[in-house]
Amino acid sequence: MKEPADDHAPPAGIPVRRFEPVARPPAPSAVSNALVFGWRAVLKFRHVPEQLFDLVMTPIMFTLLFTFVFGGALAGSPREYLQFFLPGILVQTVTFNAVYSGMNLSTDLGKGLFDRFRSLPIWPLAPFAGLMIGDVLRHLIAATIILVIGLILGYRPEAGILGVLAAFALLVTIGFGFGWVFIVLGLLIRTPTTVMTLGFSFLFPLVFASNIMVDPATMPDWLRAFVEANPVSLMTTAVRGLMGGGMSLGQIALALLAPVALTALLAPVTLRLYRRQ
Amino acid sequence: MNGHAPGGAMPMAGAETLPLAVSAFGLVKCFGDVRAVDGVDLDVQRGAIFAILGPNGAGKTTLIRMLATLTVPDAGRASVMGHNLIAAPHKVRAAIAMTGQFASLDEDLTGRENLLLLARLWGFRGSKAKARADDLLEAFDLSEAAHKQVNAYSGGMRRRLDIAASLIVTPGLLFLDEPTTGLDPVARQGVWRMIRDLAGAGVTILLTTQYLDEADQLADRIAVIDHGRKIAEGTSRELKAATGSGTLHVALTDAARLGTAARLLEARLGGKVQSSAEGARLSIRAATPEQANEALASLLAEGIELADFAMGSPSLDEVFFALTGASSATDEGTSG
Ligand SMILES: Nc1ncnc2c1ncn2[C@@H]1O[C@H](COP(=O)(O)OP(=O)(O)OP(=O)(O)O)[C@@H](O)[C@H]1O
Ligand SMILES: [Mg+2]
């Protein structure tokens, strides 16, 4: 490009237009910032509906395989096994779900999108709050799909609609608590696939050495001790209680232990890591 | 700590009383052993277009990211739009906008949704946010692509949307990191025009570029940085003048004599010839017109015919290469 730009040349690509200065409106609240990021998560569902496919495919496969392949052997009949298994698979769904949001965060951070957010005068945690809103929606959608499939296969929640609603509230809380683990991983690790690998290596032992698939009564003592103390088992027991009737407040308190502890511990770490970058 | 800058007040008085747009002193940023920015001082006047010129890895992005509150400096201090960078980053953020080297857009959303998102984050509500997004789409000639997802945009469209995203609220200071890299000449001119328009509206622009012609065309003032240090600063004219002498340009009728001519000129004038094969052109610095005359005479004495010759001030290319000590420009630099 040797020739100087001609100030009077016809507009090239961008129409001639004087920029009218636009002033800043009154600063929005932290909540409003967070809701805007939540709206972003909703738009993502609309534009990338495939992401839901990733979330529900594994649990659907698990449900079908376990119910029909192992169900008879494990519980006498597929029908009875489903009754036992479905609340557990819901817990598995929301914990695995949280891994995907860590991956999404890692992808976002790698693209420099957060640079824009960080140079805005907004509540610094708003993008994460928005992420959480998106996660909650994802948990609800995925859990609903699994429940509907369960109902079609013959699952019956004995505690009725209220039990199911309470169970969903607990599931969202569980997903929220686990979410922090993967947000921290997402902030630390720039390769989304590494976040996924690390996330699943952390979750697999927790999910499989739990009471989701089988009753630990038949396990050797040492394993049973682990399974019974495993937070995933505690959560599963509570969700089973809520949906099948016969829950106790003690069970729910135990199930909430891990999510509450994770939030208290990792929310400040998240803020630190984000500020440090 | 900062000498000037009367707190966070936004004075509305005459321009002289306003603090500088940027006033930085001794900024340092290291990544491990790499001193990406190694003690840079920078003063940028309000309303100016200021260019930071430097080769790959010079530290342009790191410098600009520090000034935009995205990276914390390891040493040094700075005030941006009158606010201390370290002590009051939130106030700095309210007065600036940044378009990074790589697009910071949500690829999954449409162009309009990207702008709406930012408008709402700034505090525009309901129909005001929509109006703001639509205004910007129109101003940047993106109305037709408004409802396409960004991952279907071309490089030029992305660049425009990315710049539009920085202008939701008119910033006092706009950082543009390599705003025209990867754009075709038409799109590039479009961005230049837009930058001038913004400056005309009173926005201070701090841009980085690797293109000498871009700095030459746009900027009121240019800082040249290399290896994290500022090696020169001034207007384009000053930089050219500081390289000292003028430059003798000759074009030969017979390209075969290029080598001989180059040797003769170097022997006479003691510098290094820069040649471009196309058109058999040579240029070399000459301290005085008399010396240039003698050099031309020696070419003629050798029977080398000249198609053309001229004595001019050095181009910004030559200034740049003289400053950075990089090897001869040959056919580099002026190609767009
Ligand atoms: N996050 C980082 N981690 C490690 N090194 C970095 C990081 N960012 C920059 N650097 C190093 O700092 C130096 C300056 O980089 P910077 O990106 O500021 O250069 P630049 O002038 O913008 O280059 P370009 O023209 O290629 O964009 C380079 O040596 C680069 O490798
Ligand atoms: Mg750069």
Chain B residues lying within 8 Å of A16, measured CB to CB: 193
Chain A residues near residue B139 by CB distance under 8 angstroms: 14-15, 17, 19
Find the CATH number of the domain harbouring B19.
Answer: 3.40.50.300
Asked whether residue B204 falls in the same domain as residue B250, the answer is: no
State whether B121 and A26 contact (CB < 8 Å): no
Place A29 in a pLDDT band, splitting at 50, 70 and 90: very high
Q: Which residue is associated with the tokens 């140079």?
A: A119
What are the strands, taking DSSP E only, across B178-261? 204-209, 221-226, 229-234, 246-252
| Interval B24-47 mean pLDDT | 94
SS3 state of residue B311: strand
Counting ligand 1 atoms within 8 A of each CB, the residue from B35, B62, B176 with the most, and so the one to mutate, is B62
Could you give phi then psi for residue B22, rounded to 5 degrees?
A: -135, 135
List chain A residues with CB under 8 Å of B210: none
CB-CB: which of A2, A23, A119 is closest to B93?
A119
pLDDT in tens, A158-173: 888 999 999 999 999 9
B55/B168 same-domain check: yes
Decide: B314 in ligand 1 pocket, CB within 6 A: no
- Residues A119-163 have pLDDT tens digits of 888 888 888 888 888 888 888 988 999 999 999 998 998 888 999
Instruction: Render B23-46 in DSSP notation, one character per residue.
Output: EEEEEEEEETTEEEEEEEEEEE-T
> Among B225, B249, B254, B277, which Cα is nearest to B54's?
B225
CA distances from B111 to A176, B151, B154 (A): 30, 10, 12
Provide the pLDDT for residue A189: 86
Query: Region A62-88: what's the mean pLDDT?
Result: 87
pLDDT value of position A5: 42
SS3 content of chain B, % helix, strand, coil (to 5): 40, 25, 35
| Model confidence at A6: pLDDT above 70 | no
Mean pLDDT within B220-237? 91
In a domain, A6, yes or no: no
DSSP string, B288-304: SHHHHHHHHHHHHHTT-
Task: Kindly state whether residues B30 and B89 are assigned to the same domain.
Answer: yes
Q: pLDDT of B95-106, one tens digit each?
A: 999 998 888 899
pLDDT score at A19: 67
Q: Any bridge partners for residue B316, and if so which?
A: none
Look at residue A18 in the predicted model and tell me its pLDDT. Answer: 57
Last residue of a domain, one of B223, B240, B257: B240
Q: What is the CATH number of the domain that holds B263?
A: 3.30.70.100
Q: Lowest-pLDDT range, A88-92, A189-193, B236-240?
A: B236-240
What pairing do the DSSP bridges indicate for beta strands B49-53 and B306-312? unpaired
Separation in Å, CA of B49 to nearest CA in chain A: 16
Tally of structural domains, chain B: 2
Q: What is the CA radius of gyration of chain B?
A: 23
Q: Are B270 and B248 in contact (CB under 8 A)?
A: no
Asked whether the predicted pLDDT for residue B278 surpasses 80, the reply is no
CB contact under 8 A, A14 and B140: yes
Domain that holds residue B193: 15-108+149-240
Q: Residue A121: which of B93, B104, B108 has the nearest Cβ?
A: B93
Residue A194 lies in a domain: yes
Determine which helix (DSSP H) or strand (DSSP E) holds A57, and give its type and residue range.
Answer: helix A50-65
Would you tell me which residues 141-170 of chain A have a C-beta closer than 8 angstroms to some C-beta of chain B?
A: none
In degrees and rounded to multiples of 5, residue A203 shows phi and psi of -85, -35
Atom number in ligand 1 closest to CA B61: 22
pLDDT of the residue at B245: 65
Domain identity same for B199 and B69: yes
Do the Cβ atoms of B41 and B223 come closer than 8 Å?
no
User: Does residue B170 sit in the same domain as residue B43?
Assistant: yes
pLDDT at A32: 93
Question: Stretch B44-50: mean pLDDT, rounded?
Answer: 94
Q: Which long-range contacts (CB under 8 A, 24 or more apart) does B257-260 make?
A: B257/B304, B258/B282, B260/B302, B260/B304
